[in-house]
Amino acid sequence: MFAIKELDKDIEATIKTEVEDSLESNLELLGVTGLEDLLQNNVAVTIKDFRLAGIKVWMLTGDKGETAENIGISCGLLDPEIHQVMKIINNNVETIQTQLKKVSSQMVMNHIQSKNTDACIMDQDTETEECKEFSLLVDGTALPVIFKDADLSDMLLTIFQHSNSVIVFRCSPDEKSQIIKFVIRNNSKAFCCAIGDGSNDINMI
């Protein structure tokens, strides 16, 4: 929505003495616009081709968790029928540590179960069994806490390395850059190609 409001001549004094909520009230509506945010055609097919080529695809976004997860499903990054989706969704040190340990243990369990045919599903097209892969959803607000702690960082790095796909949501431009540097710094064999479509992706690129 586009709106207008006439402010006092002394705008600096107004901003200093009034909170944002009071400034953004009693506005005169000028107009409304909207858009539909759609994925390009063949995104899921392209991502599948990347994976077949041995390339891991991550998504770093400022969107909230629910939106990011839905986009991940739409573009084929997440498939609940194939992927075991784990989440790190807190910015409290103790809670993050607990969640990282839980994800690590479930990742080990996932690896053990992958050797058991009962943990696999039948691909109807190829008539072959495929074991569940491991995908990770991370709340970007947890990253500053993790990156400040060496032990938490080591755990996250191990989880990253064993994840088929990673989605980081509520991720700021600085955090996007930190993730790229974190991966490159801790894996000399890693090549990262960062792709973005806006000014909030410049730091990452």
In this predicted model, what pLDDT tens digit does every residue of 102-152 receive, in sequence order?
Answer: 888 887 776 555 555 444 443 444 444 445 678 899 999 999 999 999 999
Q: Which of 79, 38, 68 is nearest to 167 (CA)?
A: 68
C-alpha to C-alpha distance for 63 and 83, rounded to whole angstroms = 21
What is the pLDDT at residue 45? Answer: 92
The torsion angles phi and psi of 170, rounded to 5 degrees, stand at: 50, 45
What is the pLDDT at residue 137? Answer: 92
Please list the ranges in the chain whose pLDDT falls under 70: 9-21, 110-132
Largest CA-CA distance found in the chain, in angstroms, rounded: 74
Q: CATH 3.40.50 residue ranges in the chain?
A: 43-201
Q: Right CATH number for 43-201 from 3.40.50, 1.20.1740, 3.40.1350, 3.40.720?
A: 3.40.50
What is the pLDDT at residue 78? Answer: 86
Angle at 131 between CA 125 and CA 134, to 5 degrees: 120
What is the pLDDT at residue 115? Answer: 52
Burial profile 100-112: b = 16 or more Cβ within 10 angstroms, e = fewer: beebbeebeebee
Determine the 3-state secondary structure of 129 from DSSP.
Answer: strand
17-26 per-position pLDDT tens digit: 555 667 778 8
The torsion angles phi and psi of 122, rounded to 5 degrees, stand at: -90, 125
